[in-house]
Structure 1
Amino acid sequence: MKPVKLLMACWRAAAAKCVPLALTLMLIDLVNDGLTWDSVSGELVFSPLTWGILTFATAAVGVRSLRRRAGAAGIPLSVEALDDRQTHVLRPVPVSDGWQERVREKLAASERAFLVAEKGHEEIHFRWRPGRGKQSVWGSMSFDAPSGDVVLDVRDGEGLLGVAGLGKGSSFAAVCQIAGATGLASGTARG
């Protein structure tokens, strides 16, 4: 099942981010309580259980956020949504004269986009802020005029917090935001 695989991948990401903090807090509690069998066994049982529940809840929030973004953009959701690089082929509806220019204008007009530079008529490179901070992802958009396809390639960068603080999913979130900002979300998506 894909939803379960995505949830487990998010859980692993959340747990990996929390391990140093959990170990530090567990050691502090052990030192404060004294190194007795009761305190050690209590910490070894209840601390991992508590952190497991907290990281699972964080993972569930991350999956919910990814699912909501994917649904709004019409982009299929899979475990690959956590990858640092996202490449999706989007098709705008309808393909008409000047659609490339309209997509370019919408991208450049977005307050999340910056350092927008065209590479010929068929490609555009940019930086995109998927979150509220100043961190951004690298992106490029290439156009295939005869078919109407738009290839969106987004790469993670700058140690973003990711979706729900997982440290992963920033590129996928950016793809969904870009699709919505440029009007490509209403088209069909393949990926």
Structure 2
Amino acid sequence: MPDGRLLRRLWMAAMSASLPLRVVMWLVTVVDDGLSRQSVGDLVLAPAVWALLGLLLAGCVHGARFRQARGTGVAVTPDALADTRERLLPAGAAERLRAGLAGSGRAYDVVDGEVLEFRWRPFRGRHTITGSAASGGVLLRLRVDGAPRGIPGQRNGGAFVALCQVTRPAAAE
């Protein structure tokens, strides 16, 4: 079931990211054509078209969040865009998490001590997530390292995507 609050946040992220482009397009239209009846009509219609495109983009990212969370037990909430995510894993998940990190191409800088620390690449670029899990308990904490770039809402959910990817092998038996 789509979460309206998350969809609204994704839509606002998409709309704010396209704002400079819309302002430049508006200024070019005014400079080229002046304030004629045609240009004013275009300026009134353009925000509605951009809003529809932003909603379409937000719907795609929203669907991707649900697809990524399928089978992991991670709830898709408006907090999916947060920079830090935490999750308590089941009792035997610590060893499966270690094995999953060792066999994954997305994990690097894995330091296995009293607290398991690692870096995770949820996307194809350089965008990384720093993770840690206490060895006694299995509280998994993931946080975004740098400022995310890319599709609005897609990169902002890096910690959520990493949580889904990391817990998938840890949840599997």
Q: Identity percentage over the alignment?
A: 30
The whole-number CA distance in structure 1 between the counterparts of 2:133 and 2:38 is 57
Is contact 2:132–2:140 with CA below 8 Å preserved after alignment? yes
Given candidates 110, 118, 125, the residue that maps to 1:126 is 118
Is contact 1:136–1:156 with CA below 8 Å preserved after alignment? yes
Structure 2 CA distance for partners of 1:185 and 1:40, relative to 1, 3 Å: farther
Q: Any idea what SS the aligned residue of 2:122 has?
A: coil
Q: Any idea what SS the aligned residue of 1:154 has?
A: strand
Question: How many angstroms does 1:35 deviate by?
Answer: 1.4
Q: Any idea what SS the aligned residue of 2:135 has?
A: strand
Is contact 1:30–1:43 with CA below 8 Å preserved after alignment? no
The whole-number CA distance in structure 2 between the counterparts of 1:15 and 1:109 is 39
For the aligned residue pairs, the C-alpha RMSD in angstroms reads: 2.2
Instruction: Give the number of equivalent residue pairs.
Output: 172
Is 2:167 the counterpart of 1:184? no
Letter in 2 for 1:184: A
Q: Any idea what SS the aligned residue of 2:171 has?
A: coil
TM-score (norm 2): 0.87
Map Cα deviations across residues 8-41 of structure 1 (whole Å, 9 max, x no partner). 1111111111111221122223222x21242442
Given candidates 85, 104, 111, the residue that maps to 1:110 is 104
The whole-number CA distance in structure 1 between the counterparts of 2:102 and 2:37 is 61
- Residue 157 of structure 2: aligned partner: 169
Is contact 1:137–1:171 with CA below 8 Å preserved after alignment? yes
